[in-house]
Structure 1
């Protein structure tokens, strides 16, 4: 091997090692970013966190069509279609206390020209993606199942919200009114935890949670 070829080989090794190191650092940085944006909502939305035992007294699922999503700037930025599962456990017989978990899995359609949910820029409308998450709710009240809606297990069909960009949703569905006397004195429903994560193209993620917001879809 000539000195020239040896030097060239040595230079290649150095460049390769440097590139490998840079790539490794980049991978770590990207991994750390994903770890930061990742929301482990399942750890908060479950029976154990409800301190409940046995089977849920309500366990239904529903399809929701054309809901609308708001972001950190206060504007509506996407239309959503999703499936949600609603479970309710009675956790105290004497005080009529219940715990509910509602989980979501669906897709979002970004609206061109709107502020992004993380409020870092303007959407082009190509930032469509998937989202999931949910909430845990503490309820005090009396169960009163709507006689026109006597379903506590299985599918409760599809709710067509038909929302517009201003947040008007003529077909919105409040599931608590179907299972509880929400107008009675003493009724209360408190969100103990909530959070969703939105995955857009180019590995963009926006987290919207009671624990804080992070990232964006652009």
Structure 2
């Protein structure tokens, strides 16, 4: 599961430990219907509309362990909501993962040999309550650049930067309305990790 860290207000890493849900094979996730501006109670144009490149992030699985290193492009969009002081965030990910030999597979059904590499996509929709910074730390349009999280398999990521804290004053509130990703590894299987439930495995 992607590291859903949005700063102190969002709490620590949400582990990918939801009970597995039976889905029809092959595993599918129609994440685009949820991570969609049409699902936001939005007003006007985005106040944030940027892309971010991330390398050396680490991914967790249903067993609670970290099983792969990721790199991905992230598209971050934020709109004002019709409710005063609330914002809707729509964040999409497209990337690839590098599985790590000897680690428990993401669906906790086997042990990886390190050759089960592949791609993933998905994202989340969230509600942010707070005040936009009068002068954001990052630009509000275009690319904000490349970030090396420099994670290890213990989940320590010294290079991690909260994008939310770059745009909102301290004391903001953050809650996930929906999140989900689907991982594809060819003949090694696929894995769905979502707030709606998990299915499949890769090994």
Whether the aligned pair in 2 keeps the contact of 1:146 and 1:178 (CA below 8 Å) is: no
Map of 1:47-62 to 2, 5 A cutoff? 47-62=37-52
Partner of 2:131: 142
Partner of 1:87: 77
Q: Tell me, what secondary structure is at the counterpart of 1:56?
A: strand
Cα distance, 1:92 vs structure 2: 2.7
Stretches of structure 2 lacking an aligned partner (at least 5 in a row): 1-23
Q: Against the structure 1 CA distance between its residues 145 and 76, is the aligned structure 2 distance closer, same or farther, given a 3 Å change threshold?
A: farther
Q: Against the structure 1 CA distance between its residues 163 and 146, is the aligned structure 2 distance closer, same or farther, given a 3 Å change threshold?
A: farther
Higher helix share: 1
RMSD: 1.3
Comparing both chains, which one has the higher relative contact order based on Cα–Cα distances under 8 Å and sequence gaps of 6 or more? 2
Partner of 1:40: 30
Is 1:180 the equivalent of 2:168? yes
Q: Please give the alpha-carbon distance, in whole angstroms, between the structure 2 residues aligned to 1:150 and 1:211.
A: 32
Is 1:118 the equivalent of 2:107? yes
Q: Tell me, what secondary structure is at the counterpart of 2:88?
A: strand
Q: Please give the alpha-carbon distance, in whole angstroms, between the structure 2 residues aligned to 1:207 and 1:54.
A: 33
Higher strand share: 2
Is 1:78 the equivalent of 2:68? yes
Q: Please give the alpha-carbon distance, in whole angstroms, between the structure 1 residues aligned to 2:135 and 2:53.
A: 19
Cα distance, 1:53 vs structure 2: 4.1
Structure label with greater radius of gyration: 1
Cα distance, 1:151 vs structure 2: 0.2
Query: TM-score, normalization: structure 1?
Result: 0.79
Is 1:169 the equivalent of 2:161? no
* Count of aligned pairs between the two proteins: 180
Whether the aligned pair in 1 keeps the contact of 2:107 and 2:200 (CA below 8 Å) is: yes
Instruction: Deviation per CA, 1:18-37: give whole Å up to 9, x if none.
Output: xxxxxxxxxxxxxx511xx1
Instruction: Deviation per CA, 1:146-191: give whole Å up to 9, x if none.
Output: 55x240000000111010010110000110000001x33xx31100
Query: TM-score, normalization: structure 2?
Result: 0.85
Cα distance, 1:204 vs structure 2: 1.1
Cα distance, 1:100 vs structure 2: 0.2
Q: Please give the alpha-carbon distance, in whole angstroms, between the structure 1 residues aligned to 2:101 and 2:30.
A: 29
Cα distance, 1:64 vs structure 2: 0.1
Stretches of structure 1 lacking an aligned partner (at least 5 in a row): 1-31
Whether the aligned pair in 1 keeps the contact of 2:59 and 2:69 (CA below 8 Å) is: yes
